[in-house]
Amino acid sequence: MQTIESFLLTNLLWNENKSQYLDTFIPLVSYVIIKYDTNPISTDNIKNYISKDFNINIPQLTLDVIFKRMVSKNLLFISDHKLYQSKDINRQYNNINRRLSVLISANSHNIQYS
| 24 DSSP 8-state letter | G
Domain count, the chain: 1
Domain residue limits at 33: 3-107
Number of Cβ atoms within 10 Å of the Cβ of 94: 13
Residue 114 belongs to some domain of the structure: no
Please report, for the domain that includes residue 57, its CATH number. Answer: 1.10.10.10
Say what the pTM is. 0.71
Residue 11 lies in a domain: yes
**φ/ψ (deg, to 5) at 55:** 55, 40
Q: Is residue 113 part of a domain?
A: no
The confidence score (pLDDT) of residue 15 equals 60
In a domain, 112, yes or no: no
Predicted pLDDT of residue 83: 94
Going by pLDDT thresholds of 50, 70 and 90, the confidence category of residue 78 is very high
Give the confidence band of 111 by pLDDT, cuts at 50, 70, 90: very low
**Calpha distance 6→1 (Å, rounded):** 7
pLDDT tens across 32-65, in order?
898 898 889 999 999 999 999 888 888 999 999 9
Asked whether residue 31 is domain-assigned, the answer is: yes
- CA proximity to 66, closest of 99, 40, 27: 27
Tell me if residue 110 falls in helix, strand or coil.
coil
pLDDT tier at 112, thresholds 50, 70, 90: very low
In this model, does residue 69 exceed pLDDT 60? yes
C-alpha 9/C-alpha 104 separation (Å) is 9
Cβ neighbourhood burial of 18 (10 Å; 0-12, 13-18, 19+): exposed
Asked whether residue 85 is assigned to any structural domain, the reply reads yes
103 pLDDT band, cuts 50/70/90, is low
